[in-house]
Amino acid sequence: MARLPEPALLDALPRLPRDGDGVLFAEPWQAQAFALAVDLSRSGRFTWPEWAGTLGAVLAEAAARGEPDDGSQYWQHWLVALERLVLEKGLSSSTDLDSRTEAWREAYRATPHGQPVALPQAGGP
């Protein structure tokens, strides 16, 4: 997993959910989405200012739609921003993202309650 960005870079992100110990994740996927954004930035796929700007735009769009600013949808917005940048930078196609989303839905529906969801690897069985 990628190292976290410097604290000053984290401070540039709009309303990042935190407590006294750091970033808050209610679900494992949130931490994974966070780490993916950090890793893509660190590997030069996009800059951290591009990331913060895209996330800020997604949050502003949500506010313009009248969505509550209570933090309950923060990580959903994070994912929207991540997908937007991945598409803009040509790191994946919308077809690939749609296929992966459907594979996730199928795996989720097929997983017994209380068990971890086993998602097939991209391009795998």
Amino acid code (one letter) for 23:
V
Task: Say whether pTM exceeds 0.85.
Answer: no
**Residue 44, pLDDT score:** 95
**What is each CA distance from 113 to 42, 108, 117, in whole angstroms?**
36, 9, 9
Measured CA to CA, the distance from residue 118 to residue 102 in angstroms comes to: 13
* Tokens standing for residue 65: 């739609």
Measured CA to CA, the distance from residue 74 to residue 27 in angstroms comes to: 12
**Residue 50, pLDDT score:** 94
**Residue 8, pLDDT score:** 55
**Residue 26, pLDDT score:** 81
Which stretches of the chain score pLDDT less than 70?
1-23, 121-125
Domain limits, the chain: 7-11+25-89
